[in-house]
Structure 1
């Protein structure tokens, strides 16, 4: 099993990066047949801006830009996708949202037929979401973050393309939570990913 771990944080020494790295280590430790690639969007200089070239590709009037094609190939080479990100304004950072805007485009992630029918094209793919937040669990629950995340991200993005959200983790820094414990848990999250992916593959074969 091969996982693509996508991280959206400008600081390579951040907790977000530490968690992403430990998820990768957990995947690698779970068996020699398992591997991962870390896609650091800031380090690679990914441009999240949806340009005229992206509009032309979205309208299927031109090929996808080269950097978008490269990201699509990385996803195609993976059995599962892991997104690790800090919560900015109750959502993911702009660079990760822009990555989704540009990469998960019409014609590749789905096909919009005259605005009447949508064909989901990524039914084979699973995604694991790991969000890092600064507020306490009470604040998130009280203001409906969990429902908002499911509506905006689970349903609004991934279900639209046929991608199954296998797991969705929220790691919080408030309420006395120890960042080191989150890093330890990240390794456990990574170790569990191959089994979940293998189950999906067996279900499809059966």
Structure 2
């Protein structure tokens, strides 16, 4: 299988980078081919320009980087996002990827009857979202309302028609012990080493 990883964290020493390393090791152990879209290293521009929006409406892309991402996504069996939760939601660069890359004509199209969307990434069997946050999970769930679940899972992928979508969230990352963070990484590597 081919896994496209969309990664967004600008700091190389982040826990997200440790997650990327563990997940990649696990996927390689299970025989996956990995295609990494490192949005920060790629200097991906999240801002939608007027020219981008015109192309979006016409179901095409004018930015060569977006076109390249499109071609790579078409080959994905598994799409995996890794990013931190900042101010209760994804970073701007991840949001820009959703806006500019997961576009009509590529990721989805409008239903011919005029209601709802239909998925177009025909090879895609599953979507996984992995996030980190410093807030306790219960606080995020009760006070904020699990925005990642609402936005990434329901509003984006489920609305587009993708069925097999899951979310793994690591909470209170700065507060837990080093040993617990290491255990999380080991569990992730083991989990994705059995991934098919």
**Where on the TM-score scale, by shorter chain, does this alignment land: which range?**
0.7 to 0.9
Which among 180, 183, 186 is matched to residue 181 of structure 1? 183
Which structure dedicates a bigger proportion of its chain to helix? 1
- Structure 1: give runs of 5+ residues left out of the alignment: 196-206
Number of equivalenced pairs: 191
8 Å CA contact retained: 2:22, 2:188: yes
Question: Where in structure 2 are the equivalents of 1:1-206 lying within 5 Å?
Answer: 1-31=1-31, 34-60=32-58, 63-112=61-110, 116-117=114-115, 118-122=117-121, 124-125=123-124, 126-146=126-146, 148-172=147-171, 173=173, 176-177=176-177, 178-193=180-195, 195=196
Partner secondary structure for residue 132 of structure 2: strand
TM-score by length of 2: 0.87
Q: Summarize the Cα distance change of 1:62–1:124 in structure 2 as closer, same or farther, 3 Å threshold.
A: closer
- 1:199 maps to what in 2? none
Distance, in Å, in 1 between the alignment partners of 2:61 and 2:141 is 43
How far is 1:120 from its partner? 2.8
Once the two structures are superposed, what CA deviation does each residue of 1:20-62 show, in whole Å capped at 9, x if it has no partner?
A: 121011010123xx22122210001111111122111111076
Distance, in Å, in 2 between the alignment partners of 1:52 and 1:189 is 42
TM-score by length of 1: 0.83
